[in-house]
């Protein structure tokens, strides 16, 4: 499982002209699911995310978690994160999880994260327009296989 985590002052997602998810201070999380990912991967990633100190304290140091700043998360499914650019010029998505299983894991990820912080979501497999106000910019990549 791979996440691109962005510290944001605001983020929103639009589907068919309507806002379906919107947050202010918090994290915009683009979530990619690989074949073979499971609930253990989700538990590891969620555990890391909720205590990750990427928000500034009074001295401007990254010392606060999303919980410390009463932040929210906007989680967007992003199968292209599981793509490979190794060969040729067209991405290969052979390593991306099948849609039914990927949606199951995406929904479970969101439910687990929502037990710690407020969560907004995109719509799985929809054509989404995501607006991200990256704060810093601060961006990290988190891979469950490296935890």
pLDDT tens for 64-101 read 999 999 999 999 999 999 999 999 999 999 999 999 99
Q: What is the dihedral of CA 121, 106, 98, 93, to 10 degrees?
A: 70
Q: What is the mean pLDDT of the chain?
A: 98
Confidence of residue 13 (pLDDT cuts 50, 70, 90): very high
pTM above 0.85, yes or no: yes
Cα separation, 70 vs 56, whole angstroms: 13
Structure tokens at 138: 């601060």
Active site residues: 78-80
pLDDT of res. 115: 98
Domains of the chain: 2-146 (3.50.80.10)
Which pLDDT belongs to residue 82?
97
pLDDT score, position 74 = 98
């Amino acid at each position: 499982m791979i996440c691109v985590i962005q510290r944001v002052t605001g983020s929103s997602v639009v589907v068919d002209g309507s806002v379906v998810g919107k947050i202010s201070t918090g994290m915009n999380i683009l979530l990619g699911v690989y074949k073979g990912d499971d609930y253990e991967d989700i538990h590891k990633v969620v555990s890391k995310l909720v205590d990750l100190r990427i928000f500034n304290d009074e001295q401007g140091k990254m010392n606060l978690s999303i919980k410390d700043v009463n932040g929210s998360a906007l989680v967007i499914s992003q199968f292209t994160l599981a793509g490979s650019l190794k060969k040729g010029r067209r991405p290969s998505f052979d390593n991306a999880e099948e849609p039914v299983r990927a949606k199951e894991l995406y929904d479970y990820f969101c439910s687990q994260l929502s037990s710690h912080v407020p969560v907004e979501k995109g719509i799985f497999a929809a054509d989404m327009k995501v607006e991200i106000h990256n704060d810093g910019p601060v961006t990290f990549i988190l891979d469950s296989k490296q935890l």
